[in-house]
Amino acid sequence: MYRRSFLKGLLWFISARIFSRNGVTRAIASTNPDTTATTHANGKSIIKGYDPTRHRYAMGIDVDKCIGCNRCVEACTVENDVPPEPFFTRTWVERYVIKKDKSVHVENISNGSDGPKERLEEADILRSFFVPKLCNQCENPPCVQVCPVGATFSTEDGVVLIDSERCIGCGYCIQACPYGARYLHPKTRTADKCTFCYHRIVKGMLPACVEVCPTGARVFGDLKNRASRLVRFERMNKIHVLKPHLNTHPKVYYADLDGEVR
Amino acid sequence: MFERIPEQIRRLAIVFVIVIGGTVVLRYFVLPPSLFETRLHRESTIQREVAKQVKFAGTTVCGGCHEDTATVKRKGFHKNLSCESCHGPAAMHTEDPMTVKPFAPRKRKFCPLCHEYDPSRPTGFPQINVTIHNPLKPCITCHNPHHPEPPTVPRECSACHAGIARTKAVSHHALIACTTCHRASRKHKVSPRRVKPTKPDTREFCGKCHREGSKRKDAPKIDLSTHGGRYLCWECHYPHMPGVA
């Protein structure tokens, strides 16, 4: 007879839910005002005195100023507890060497060595420079589209974050990112990437890499603030983004980027 | 029309309608909407992210206590450099200044991270060749990292002796003034070939630093009685670039 009473109970439960639905929703709404607002209201009550809808963060990189010292990579590793080995980094610096025969050599100088590694024959170099790279915090992020469990998302202030408790470590997003900005964290086995140091920027501080950059090659700012350094940087420089044809709308802006940079 | 559909198909259709209808009811009316809501997950992610510990305090904080250093730094080439670029993360130090001390780079290998010559570095950025630039001494013996400037030779000497000045500037003797070893009378400037400046004329002059038992700790020591015989030191060693030539 258990089945009979179970089915009866189920029937009561279902009908009760249907009729009480509106009332319950209203009750929740009255205790928590955020629920009635748009779904974008997140964050308002989370961080005291901080309204994410009033910010839109982005970074500018002055390629001509980067000296490839790797201070940014080291600071990022410390600030965000990125494991020192096996050489995963949230940001990294690439050395581009364009030789006189027009061949392009790209080398990541941030993976484990103290400063630049390879010495090239100087007479062969046509031009050479460093390009710092990091998560582009795309407006239209491919990593968010592919996540099967919805663990990664864009916040109101334009930063792409990962819910490490939802992430199942399938690695789809790592494959999907055209900039190679994501990696699988060797300890948590979840995807990890640059967050623009979200815990710092909501407190009005600069991301760690921008803080320590000795030459000011990295510029951080708020696109919604007319008086931010980044807006001025955009105004004064010719701005490029990486892989614009992919329609990801990156928010890391490179000034005077060489055409060879991919 | 309806009768023409076979009985078993009709029954099957009823089952399908019940299953589909039940699913719709379950999804939209029974299960609470918060079950599908991503807001809570996102909020908790943001909360976790925001709760992370800040390790770099930011350069504006440092000047509050280290006012003297900040004033010196403000005028030099390193004025736009954050304190924590060299000293490392110091948020712990700001909370507990007495017990937690930030890192202070004193070794020679630290400064070349930025200042070693590299063909990829932008033109005009000050760079050195580490192997020949005053070898084996930490950079801070000659350069004040809070106000870096190349050690200068008095313009009076370098105006004519620029080659010597350049050589000496990157040698072990970079910090020794020209006048420590040479005395030039005023007339040397008027008629440089006729009135020459003095040169050290005793072995004991160099011995002040280089004899065994001298107080200078970083100078290499020799035994004056056995080393070099009757010659003056500078007859074999080039004092403007000692150790190399």
CATH code of the domain containing A175: 3.30.70.20
If asked whether residues B66 and B134 sit together in one domain, one would say yes
Cα–Cα distances in angstroms (integers) from residue B148 to residues A191, A200, B105, B143, in the given order: 43, 30, 15, 5
Look at residue B225 and tell me if it is in a domain.
yes
Nearest to B85 among A71, A162, A198 (CB): A71
Domain boundary among B141, B172, B188: B141
Same domain flag for B77 and B128: yes
Dump pLDDT digits (tens) for B57-104: 988 888 889 999 988 988 888 988 899 999 999 999 998 888 888 889
Instruction: Give the domain range for residue A9.
Output: 2-31
Is the complex ipTM more than 0.85? no
Rounded to whole angstroms, how far apart are CA atoms B128 and B113? 11
Domain extent for B200: 155-236
Q: Does residue A10 fall inside a structural domain?
A: yes
CB contact under 8 A, B41 and A122: no
B109 CB neighbours in chain A (<8 A) are 114
In-domain check, residue B47: no
Say yes or no: B88 and B133 in one domain.
Answer: yes
From B30, which residue of chain A is nearest by alpha-carbon distance?
Answer: A17
Residue in B41, B78, B116 nearest the CB of A163: B41
Q: How far apart are the C-alpha atoms of A29 and B110, rounded to whole Å?
A: 58
For residue A115, tell me if it sits in a domain: no
Judged on CB neighbours under 10 Å (0-12, 13-18, 19+), B151 is middle
Same domain, A25 and A152: no
For position A10, what pLDDT does the model report?
Answer: 83
Q: Is residue B96 part of a domain?
A: yes
For residue A149, which amino acid is it?
V
Q: Show the tokens assigned to A252.
A: 């890391």
Count of residues making up chain B = 245
Q: How far is B116 from chain A (nearest CA, A)?
A: 10
Shared domain for B115 and B161, answered yes or no, is: no
Report the percentage of chain B scoring pLDDT > 70. Answer: 97
A9 touches chain B (CB under 8 A): no
A78 and A18 both lie in a single domain: no
pTM over 0.80: no
| DSSP helix/strand/coil, A128 | strand
Interface of A with B in 163-202 (CB under 8 A): 163-166, 195, 198-200, 202
Domain count, chain A: 2
Question: What pLDDT was estimated at residue B242?
Answer: 82
By C-alpha distance, the chain B residue nearest A122 is: B119
Q: For residues B16-40, give the mean pLDDT.
A: 88
* Same domain assignment for residues A196 and A67: yes
- The whole-number pLDDT of residue A28 equals 47
- Out of B52, B82, B113, name the one closest to residue A69 (CB): B113
A 48-87 residues inside an 8 A Cβ radius of B: 64-71, 75, 78-80
* Helices marked H in chain A: 2-31, 71-79, 142-146, 172-176, 198-201, 208-212, 229-236
Q: Which residues of A touch B82 (CB under 8 A)?
A: 211-214
**Residue of A24, A66, A198 lying closest to B49 (CB–CB):** A198
Residue A98 is assigned to a structural domain of this protein: no
Based on the fold, state whether residues B132 and B82 are members of the same structural domain. Answer: yes
CB contact (8 A) between residue A116 and residue B120: yes
Count of pairs with CB atoms under 8 A, one residue in A, one in B: 142
Residues A6 and A82 in one domain: no
Q: Label residue A2 exposed, middle or buried (CB < 10 Å: 0-12, 13-18, 19+).
A: exposed
Q: What is the pLDDT of residue A45?
A: 55
Give mean pLDDT, residues B182-194: 85
Report the C-alpha gap between A22 and A119 in whole angstroms: 71
Contact A115 B112 (CB under 8 A): yes
B95-141 residue pLDDT tens: 888 888 888 998 988 999 999 988 889 888 889 888 888 777 888 88
Do residues B77 and B123 share a domain?
Answer: yes
Q: Are residues B77 and B133 in the same domain?
A: yes
At A119 the pLDDT is 62
Neighbouring CB atoms inside 10 A of B27's CB total: 11
B176 in any annotated domain: yes
Cβ count within 10 A of residue B120? 21
Same domain, yes or no, for A21 and A44? Answer: no
Q: Are B125 and A68 in contact (CB under 8 A)?
A: no
Q: Closest approach of chain B CAs to the CA of A93, in angstroms? A: 12
Q: Return the number of other C-beta atoms located less than 10 Å from residue A204's C-beta.
A: 9
pLDDT score, position B196: 87
Residues B4, B68: one domain? no
Supply the pLDDT for residue A245: 93
Q: Is A121 on the interface with B (CB under 8 A)?
A: no
Are A15 and A48 part of one and the same domain? no
User: Higher confidence at residue B158 or residue A249?
Assistant: A249
Cβ pair B30:A42 closer than 8 A: no
The answer to whether residues A205 and A226 belong to one domain is yes
Pick the more confident residue, B152 or A126. A126
pLDDT for B143 beyond 90 = no
> Which residues are bridge partners to A221 per DSSP?
A58
Number of domains in chain B: 3
Within 8 A of B47 by CB-CB distance, chain A residues are: 46
> B56 vs A79: CB contact, 8 Å cut-off?
yes
Are A188 and A221 found together in one domain? yes
- Residue A127: strand, helix, or coil: strand
- Boundary-marking domain end, from B78, B108, B141: B141
Statement: residue B217 has pLDDT above 90? no
A100 inside 8 A of chain B by CB: no
| Same domain, yes or no: A177 and A146 | yes
Comparing CB atoms, the residue among A17, A161, A166 nearest residue B49 is A161
CA distance B27 to chain A (A): 11
**Are A57 and A19 in the same domain?**
no
Q: What is the DSSP string of A53-102?
A: GG--EEEEEEGGG-----HHHHHHHHHTT--TTTT--SSEEEEEEEETTS
State the pLDDT confidence band at B193, using cuts at 50, 70 and 90.
confident
Show which of B119, B141, B163 is a domain's final residue.
Answer: B141
- Which of these, A173, A180, A165, A166, lies nearest to A147 by C-alpha position? A173
pLDDT of residue A21: 59
> Is B179 in the same domain as B220?
yes
Query: Looking at A119-123, A213-217, B23-27, B160-164, which range is the least confident one?
Result: A119-123
pLDDT under 70: residue ranges of chain A:
1, 20-46, 112-120
* Residue in B38, B89, B114 closest to A214 by CB: B114
Locate the chain A residue with the closest alpha carbon to B28. A18
